[in-house]
Structure formats: C-alpha cells, structure tokens
C-alpha cells in the first residue's frame, strides 16, 4: 500500500464524519493550547518567586561563634538505645548568641566597596500555636531605616 492510498483513505473517513472530525481536532488543539499556557504560567511564577526570595534574603549573614559546644551529655554513655540524646544541661534558655561589638562589624562591612547595604538584625526561634496546631518559625527584627 502506497502513501497516496493511505492519505486517500484518511481523507475519505474525515470527510464522511466532518462534524465529529472537527470536534476531535479542535479538542486536541484546545487541550494543547491549555497545556502550553499552564506550563508557561507555572514556569514564570516559579521564576518570579525565586527572584523575590533572593531579593528579600541577605546574601551574607554574620553570626557569633558558639562558645560552648552543643554536644549532648549522654551521647556516648547512653546504654538504653533510645535513639535520642539530651542537650538540656548544655543549653539553657539564658544562653544567648550575641555579637557584642556589632557596631564595629557593621562599620567594617560598610567600609568595603563591594558591600551595598548592611543591616543588623535580631533573630529568635519561636513556636506559633493556632488552636491545636504548632508550627516552628523564625522571627527577625530589623531597623527599618537601615533596610534597603
């Protein structure tokens, strides 16, 4: 069977059921157009979200060095094989990670020509509760005048 015969048979069946063929072809075309539109919108929105995250988060963060290593005291001596370790005696709520002379660090960073903006902040780890749901979060406090 030659290609001309195949095309002739295909056109014969398409012409015989003209309305059904039109609906089928238009359904496939509309489906492809919707798929292309959906993929384009999803790609654009994910790129937009990624750019906003990069723009709002700092490129460099300076944190204090830990003076007390956070090693659980029963890490090596745990004979019960519970699978967890306690860090209660190493870390208390009064332990604060602070940079004592942060103004000097800010001044040093601002003096560098590569640095555009310096903004000190205070960060705290929190647990937010809504009725019976608990979610961990991080709160940052900034000086609004220093934000770009």
CA dist., res. 84 & res. 61, Å (int) = 31
What's the pLDDT tens digit per position in 1-46?
889 998 888 888 777 777 787 888 889 999 999 999 999 998 888 8
Q: Is the pTM above the cut of 0.75?
A: no
Phi, psi of 18 (to 5 degrees): -60, -45
- What average pLDDT does the segment 64-92 reach? 54
Task: Give the contacts of 19 (CB within 8 A, at least 6 positions apart).
Answer: none
CA dist., res. 9 & res. 108, Å (int) = 81
């Amino acid at each position: 069977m030659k290609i001309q015969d195949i095309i002739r048979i295909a056109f014969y069946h398409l012409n015989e059921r003209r309305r059904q063929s039109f609906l089928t072809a238009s359904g496939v075309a509309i489906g492809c157009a919707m798929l292309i539109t959906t993929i384009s919108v999803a790609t654009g929105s994910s790129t937009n979200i990624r750019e906003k995250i990069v723009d709002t988060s700092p490129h460099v963060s300076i944190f204090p060095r830990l003076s007390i290593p956070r090693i659980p005291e029963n890490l090596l001596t745990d004979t019960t094989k519970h699978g967890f370790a306690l860090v209660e005696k190493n870390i208390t709520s009064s332990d604060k990670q602070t940079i004592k002379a942060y103004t000097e660090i800010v001044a040093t960073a601002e003096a560098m020509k590569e640095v555009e903006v310096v903004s000190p902040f205070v960060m705290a780890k929190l647990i937010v509760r809504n009725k019976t749901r608990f979610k961990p979060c991080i709160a940052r406090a900034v000086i609004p005048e220093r934000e770009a």
